[in-house]
């Protein structure tokens, strides 16, 4: 398969590559997260990270774990929170509003994540049809966004950008001189990770 045979990059693509390079993180960490927190297969790989001067350890988890916790917490909050309604407010209106709020929040983050996962799967399928698979590319030719029609280019930009977050389960924060405080499930900014390692398995 020959794509963009003259290999000329548009000025927009050059700027995009520069932006993506600036946002890029450690490719080994990105690969580890992709393997351990994949859409189809996942496993709780242990990892320790240095994040903005703080040492945190835990096990890599899928973002669905964090989304489920957010849904449960927001649902619980909606069941007891003080509601402020605009216009005529009475007990019946408040009860109906609270019920609707609880229902809308009970699966909000998980549903949003499911939509994002489906969009990502669709984008990868479309791009594979347009670009082909790696073994179909010529040895010295890699496809670029200039090879894509507008619709597929938009899909690529929306779904295949650099990874920006890492979800940890069973996370602990190191408190000097020798204490680990449990913090549960956390979401970390990958760009703020200065160093990381996988602790040895006993």
Q: Could you tell me the pTM of the whole model?
A: 0.77
Q: Give the per-residue pLDDT at 89.
A: 66
Name the 3-class secondary structure at 18: helix
Closest listed residue to residue 49, CA positions, set 162, 170, 171: 171
Region 190-201: what's the mean pLDDT? 93
Q: Strands of 46-51's sheet, edge to edge? A: 179-189, 165-175, 54-60, 46-51, 193-197
Min mean pLDDT across 24-33, 74-83, 146-155, 167-176 is at 146-155
Region 28-44: what's the mean pLDDT? 91
Polymer length of the chain:
202
pLDDT band (50, 70, 90) for residue 32: very high
| Domains of the chain, residue spans | 25-197
pLDDT digits (tens, 9 = 90+) for 118-159: 888 888 887 788 777 767 766 666 677 777 777 777 777 766
pLDDT at 5 over 70: no
Helices assigned H by DSSP within 4-56: 11-23, 27-36
The gap between the terminal CA atoms of the chain, to the nearest Å, is 48
């Amino acid at each position: 398969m020959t794509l963009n045979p003259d290999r000329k990059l548009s000025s927009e693509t050059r700027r995009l590559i520069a932006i993506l390079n600036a946002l890029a993180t450690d490719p080994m960490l990105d690969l580890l997260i992709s393997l351990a927190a994949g859409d189809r297969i996942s496993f709780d790989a242990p990892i320790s990270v240095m994040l903005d001067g703080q040492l945190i350890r835990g096990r890599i988890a899928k973002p669905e774990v964090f989304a489920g916790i957010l849904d449960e917490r927001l649902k619980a909050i909606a069941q007891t929170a003080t509601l402020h309604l605009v216009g005529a407010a009475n007990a019946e209106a408040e009860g109906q509003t609270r019920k609707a709020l609880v229902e809308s929040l009970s699966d909000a983050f998980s549903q949003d994540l499911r939509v994002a996962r489906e969009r990502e799967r669709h984008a990868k399928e479309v791009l594979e049809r347009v670009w082909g698979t790696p073994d179909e590319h010529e040895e010295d030719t890699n496809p670029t966004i200039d090879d894509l029609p507008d619709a597929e280019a938009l899909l690529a930009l929306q779904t295949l950008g650099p990874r920006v977050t890492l979800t940890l389960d069973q996370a602990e924060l190191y408190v000097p001189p020798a204490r680990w405080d449990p913090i549960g499930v956390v979401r970390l900014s990958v760009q703020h990770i200065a160093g990381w390692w996988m602790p040895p398995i006993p």
